[in-house]
Amino acid sequence: MAGGQDDGGRMVTVSVLLTLHIPGAQSLKEKRAVVRSLVERIRARLNLSAAEVGLLDRIQAARVGFAIVSGDIAEAHRLADDARRFVDSELLGRAEVVRAEVEELVMGED
Protein backbone atom coordinates (compact mmCIF):
# COMPACT_ATOMS: atom_id res chain seq x y z
CA MET A 1 0.00 0.00 0.00
CA ALA A 2 1.87 3.06 -1.29
CA GLY A 3 0.86 6.50 -0.13
CA GLY A 4 -1.98 5.08 1.98
CA GLN A 5 -3.95 3.80 -1.02
CA ASP A 6 -4.74 0.16 -1.75
CA ASP A 7 -4.79 -0.57 -5.48
CA GLY A 8 -6.53 -3.95 -4.97
CA GLY A 9 -3.55 -5.86 -6.40
CA ARG A 10 -2.56 -9.31 -5.32
CA MET A 11 0.53 -11.43 -5.45
CA VAL A 12 0.51 -15.08 -6.43
CA THR A 13 3.50 -17.29 -5.71
CA VAL A 14 3.74 -20.80 -7.11
CA SER A 15 6.58 -22.80 -5.60
CA VAL A 16 7.69 -26.10 -7.12
CA LEU A 17 9.90 -28.66 -5.38
CA LEU A 18 11.26 -31.44 -7.57
CA THR A 19 12.95 -34.61 -6.36
CA LEU A 20 15.36 -35.94 -8.95
CA HIS A 21 16.90 -39.37 -9.52
CA ILE A 22 20.27 -39.19 -11.28
CA PRO A 23 21.13 -42.83 -12.05
CA GLY A 24 24.34 -42.11 -13.97
CA ALA A 25 26.00 -40.12 -11.19
CA GLN A 26 28.84 -42.06 -9.57
CA SER A 27 30.10 -39.18 -7.42
CA LEU A 28 28.84 -35.98 -5.84
CA LYS A 29 30.86 -34.08 -8.45
CA GLU A 30 28.96 -35.77 -11.30
CA LYS A 31 25.63 -35.21 -9.57
CA ARG A 32 26.37 -31.56 -8.92
CA ALA A 33 27.31 -31.01 -12.56
CA VAL A 34 23.81 -32.18 -13.61
CA VAL A 35 22.04 -30.17 -10.90
CA ARG A 36 24.13 -27.02 -11.35
CA SER A 37 23.50 -27.05 -15.10
CA LEU A 38 19.75 -27.45 -14.55
CA VAL A 39 19.53 -24.66 -11.96
CA GLU A 40 21.58 -22.27 -14.11
CA ARG A 41 19.42 -22.99 -17.18
CA ILE A 42 16.18 -22.44 -15.22
CA ARG A 43 17.52 -19.10 -14.05
CA ALA A 44 18.89 -18.00 -17.43
CA ARG A 45 16.24 -19.28 -19.84
CA LEU A 46 13.11 -18.85 -17.71
CA ASN A 47 14.21 -15.99 -15.44
CA LEU A 48 13.01 -17.83 -12.32
CA SER A 49 14.47 -18.16 -8.85
CA ALA A 50 15.90 -21.66 -8.58
CA ALA A 51 18.21 -23.56 -6.25
CA GLU A 52 19.34 -27.00 -5.16
CA VAL A 53 17.59 -27.26 -1.80
CA GLY A 54 17.98 -30.80 -0.49
CA LEU A 55 19.55 -34.25 -0.57
CA LEU A 56 22.91 -32.53 -0.94
CA ASP A 57 24.97 -35.52 0.17
CA ARG A 58 23.04 -38.20 -1.77
CA ILE A 59 24.91 -39.13 -4.94
CA GLN A 60 21.97 -40.14 -7.13
CA ALA A 61 19.26 -37.88 -5.72
CA ALA A 62 18.64 -34.15 -5.50
CA ARG A 63 15.92 -31.66 -4.67
CA VAL A 64 15.59 -28.56 -6.81
CA GLY A 65 13.12 -25.80 -6.14
CA PHE A 66 11.93 -22.89 -8.22
CA ALA A 67 9.30 -20.19 -7.82
CA ILE A 68 7.08 -17.99 -9.94
CA VAL A 69 5.63 -14.68 -8.75
CA SER A 70 2.78 -13.08 -10.67
CA GLY A 71 -0.33 -11.02 -10.22
CA ASP A 72 -2.41 -13.68 -12.00
CA ILE A 73 -3.03 -17.25 -10.78
CA ALA A 74 -3.54 -18.73 -14.25
CA GLU A 75 -0.35 -17.12 -15.56
CA ALA A 76 1.67 -18.34 -12.57
CA HIS A 77 0.48 -21.92 -13.09
CA ARG A 78 1.10 -21.72 -16.84
CA LEU A 79 4.68 -20.59 -16.18
CA ALA A 80 5.13 -23.40 -13.63
CA ASP A 81 3.87 -25.94 -16.19
CA ASP A 82 6.21 -24.50 -18.84
CA ALA A 83 9.10 -24.75 -16.39
CA ARG A 84 8.27 -28.40 -15.62
CA ARG A 85 8.31 -29.25 -19.33
CA PHE A 86 11.62 -27.39 -19.67
CA VAL A 87 13.10 -29.35 -16.75
CA ASP A 88 11.96 -32.66 -18.22
CA SER A 89 13.56 -31.82 -21.57
CA GLU A 90 16.80 -30.62 -19.92
CA LEU A 91 17.12 -33.80 -17.86
CA LEU A 92 16.29 -36.21 -20.68
CA GLY A 93 18.76 -39.09 -20.56
CA ARG A 94 20.57 -37.71 -17.50
CA ALA A 95 18.01 -37.70 -14.70
CA GLU A 96 14.31 -37.96 -14.04
CA VAL A 97 11.80 -36.19 -11.83
CA VAL A 98 10.46 -38.78 -9.39
CA ARG A 99 8.33 -36.41 -7.31
CA ALA A 100 6.92 -32.94 -7.80
CA GLU A 101 5.30 -30.81 -5.13
CA VAL A 102 3.50 -27.58 -6.01
CA GLU A 103 2.30 -24.98 -3.54
CA GLU A 104 0.38 -21.81 -4.25
CA LEU A 105 0.24 -18.74 -2.03
CA VAL A 106 -2.06 -15.80 -2.75
CA MET A 107 -1.60 -12.53 -0.86
CA GLY A 108 -3.51 -9.29 -1.07
CA GLU A 109 -6.92 -10.79 -1.75
CA ASP A 110 -9.88 -8.89 -0.42
Average pLDDT over residues 21-47: 96
* The pLDDT of residue 5: 45
Q: How confident is the model at residue 9 (pLDDT cuts 50, 70, 90)?
A: confident
Q: Which of 2-11, 25-34, 46-55, 69-78 has the lowest mean pLDDT?
A: 2-11
Farthest CA pair distance, the chain: 57
* 11-21 β-sheet, strand order: 49-54, 61-70, 11-21, 96-107
Residue 40: φ, ψ to 5°: -65, -40
First to last CA, the chain: 13
Domains and CATH numbers, the chain: 11-107 (3.30.70.1120)
Q: Are 34 and 22 in contact (CB under 8 A)?
A: yes
* The pLDDT of residue 8: 60
* pLDDT surpasses 70 at 4: no
